Amino acid sequence: MSDADIGVGGTLVWYYYICLRQVWLISHQITPDADDGNLILGRFIGETSYNREKKELAIGSSKMDVYHFNNGEMVVGEVKKSSKYNQSARMQLAFYLKELHKRGIQARGELRFPQEKKKEEVILDEDTLAEIERVERDILRLVYLQQPPPPVKNRFCKKCAYSEFCWS
C-alpha cells in the first residue's frame, strides 16, 4: 500500500474512538454488512435530515455532512443517529475543523442528532488539536499493520455491523 492510498479521513477518526479493529478493516475496504439495520437507518437519517441546508462538502479525504454560514462564520454540521457515540462524533468534527483551519477557514462545529432533537457545539482548542494530531499518527500506524488488531468486546459490539464478522 503506498502512502498516496491513505488519507486519514474523518470517518477513520470516528472509528478510532469506537474500535481500533474497525479502523483497520475499513482502511482495507472490508466494509461492514450493508444489510445491517442500524447502518440503513443511519444512512436514511443522513439523507433525509436538514434538506434546506447545503449538503456534503468534500475536503481532502473527508466529506462533511452539512454546512451553512452564520454572520459570515462557517458552521459545519455532522449528522448522527444517536449521541451514544459522543466522543467519536466530537473528535470527527474536531478533525474537520482542523482540516478547514489548515486551509485558512475558521469554522465552528455543530453535532446534530435529529432523532433526539439535539445539537452540540464543538470548538477546536489547543488540547483537542494535539489529540487529533496524535490520533492521526496512530491511525496510520494501525493501517500499516499486517493484520487487524484482534477483536475486543466493548459496549459498541452489540449494535455493530461488523459483530458477526468479528465473532463468527
Which parts of this chain interact with other proteins (CB under 8 A)? 28-31, 33-35, 146-148, 150, 163-165, 167-168
Nearer to other proteins, 22 or 88 (CB): 22
Min CB(33)–other proteins separation in Å: 7
Rounded to 5°, angle at Cα 90 from 41 and 70: 90
Question: Edge-to-edge, what's the strand order for the sheet holding 54-59?
Answer: 54-59, 62-70, 73-79, 107-113, 118-122
Min CB(62)–other proteins separation in Å: 21
- Specify the amino acid at residue 150: P
Cell of 86: 459522543
Nearer to other proteins, 119 or 153 (CB): 153
Nearer to other proteins, 32 or 114 (CB): 32
Cell of 49: 435530515
Min CB(147)–other proteins separation in Å: 5
The DSSP symbol for 140 reads: H
Rg from Cα positions in the chain: 16
* Element holding 55 (H helix, E strand): strand 54-59
Min CB(43)–other proteins separation in Å: 12
Of 101, 91, 88, residue with least CA distance to 60? 101
Min CB(17)–other proteins separation in Å: 23
Using the structure block, give the residue that is written with the C-alpha cell 479493529: 21
Nearer to other proteins, 114 or 148 (CB): 148
Nearer to other proteins, 50 or 165 (CB): 165
